[in-house]
Amino acid sequence: MYVESLALENYRNYAHLSVNLSPGINIFFGDNAQGKTNVLEALYMCATTKSHRGSRDREIIRFGEEEAHIRMLLSKEHVRHKIDMHLKKNKSKGIAIDGIPIRKSGELFGLVHMICFSPEDLAMIKNGPGERRRFLDLELCQLDKVYLHNISNYNKIVNQRNNLLKQIGFDSALKDTLDIWDMQMVNYGRKVIETRKLFIAQLNEWLEQIHGRLTGNREKLQLVYQPSTEPEDFERALLSRREQDIRMKMSGTGPHRDDFLFMVGNVDIRKFGSQGQQRTAALSLKLAEIELVRQSIGGEPVLLLDDVLSELDSSRQNYLLDCIKDIQTVITCTGLDEFVNHRFNIDRIFKVTDGTVDFVNEVVG
């Protein structure tokens, strides 16, 4: 499975863009703020309906324009598929697969699987829990449509419950209606917790060997899921926090407060690890994600590496590049110098300058 081409219209700083990608390794290089990450974002967006940066559609549409378009051509088991995405300022986006409009974004998942690795991922361990939950959700939503359904409903209900908590401040009679929301929150929330638990256990199976190899078997890395509540305690926890939730005007318990720890041996490396140790652990996690996705979908995902190579030392770079040999990869970087010492084949190089992309070279390795 790979992306053959990408076309953009009024997407961020691109008025028009049309690029043909190689099924191997593609590099987009250029100075800062020229539009490299925008290309990766568009690819990720077209596959998942979401920006990996968490931007909203209206922020993505080119300044001064009303709409943006992304068109992606895929090749999957020798069959071509076309994805059309139409972003609008004040309405939800329109998506069509092979010319047929789809109603739910979930219908898109399964067609192409994208994994993005950015500097934010490298900092995932030391950043707040929201980033770690985002990692779980972005991956699980692509892998599991049932999870997508559960987490979307769960988030909707938490929002509605929070609105109700605010209203209760003015009208305490509304308190009685909380039961209905709590019941639904528990119903969807339990399923979310169970799926996350399983996903983390599966990641751990890969992490053991990957992180072992990356550290010369000096470290054993494991993720430890820290759900805000266990599924069987969720109902009770909501009830016992109810008065506090009403005072705070927000829901203080549930999977929207989950976290997970990175443990090396008995040490929580978020608190006690060096920066190098945290980065290596983040790299291990990404590689474990790639392996897990390969195993789950029985094919190759597409990998997007946004400015991360220069952040890794050369032995880790080489390890990463070794692991992704058979995967279509799109890499962004500021210069090509960083590739001089590497033993891998670059297939296609593009230079990005102020919202234009020039094809530089077809490299035969």
Report the interface residues with ligand ADP, using CB under 6 A: 12-13, 30, 32-38, 59-63, 352
Q: 90 or 341, CB closer to ligand ADP?
A: 90
CA-to-CA distance for 42 and 62, rounded, in angstroms?
13
Binding at 13: pick from ligand ADP, Mg ion, none (beta carbon under 5-8 Å per type)? ligand ADP
Shortest approach of ligand ADP to residue 99 CB, angstroms?
Answer: 27
Alpha-helical segments (H) within the chain: 36-48, 57-60, 119-122, 129-143, 145-168, 178-214, 234-240, 242-248, 269-272, 275-297, 314-323
Q: 52 or 256, CB closer to Mg ion?
A: 52
Binding at 62: pick from ligand ADP, Mg ion, none (beta carbon under 5-8 Å per type)? ligand ADP
Q: 37 or 329, CB closer to Mg ion?
A: 37
Structure tokens at 310: 């220069």
Shortest approach of Mg ion to residue 139 CB, angstroms?
Answer: 21
Contact between residue 279 and residue 118 where contact means Cβ atoms under 8 Å apart: no
Binding at 12: pick from ligand ADP, Mg ion, none (beta carbon under 5-8 Å per type)? ligand ADP
Q: 118 or 251, CB closer to ligand ADP?
A: 118
Shortest approach of Mg ion to residue 3 CB, angstroms?
Answer: 19
Q: 63 or 170, CB closer to ligand ADP?
A: 63
Which residue do the tokens 């890969």 mark? 206
Write out the DSSP string of 226-272. E-SS-GGGHHHHHHHTHHHHHHHTS--SSGGG-EEEEEETTEEHHHH
> Which one-letter DSSP state was computed for residue 175?
G
Non-local CB neighbours of 144 within 8 Å, separated by 6+ positions: 195
Shortest approach of Mg ion to residue 9 CB, angstroms?
Answer: 21
Binding at 302: pick from Mg ion, ligand ADP, none (beta carbon under 5-8 Å per type)? none
Verify binding: residue 37, Mg ion, rule CB under 5 A: yes
Residue numbers at the binding site for Mg ion (CB under 5 A):
36-37
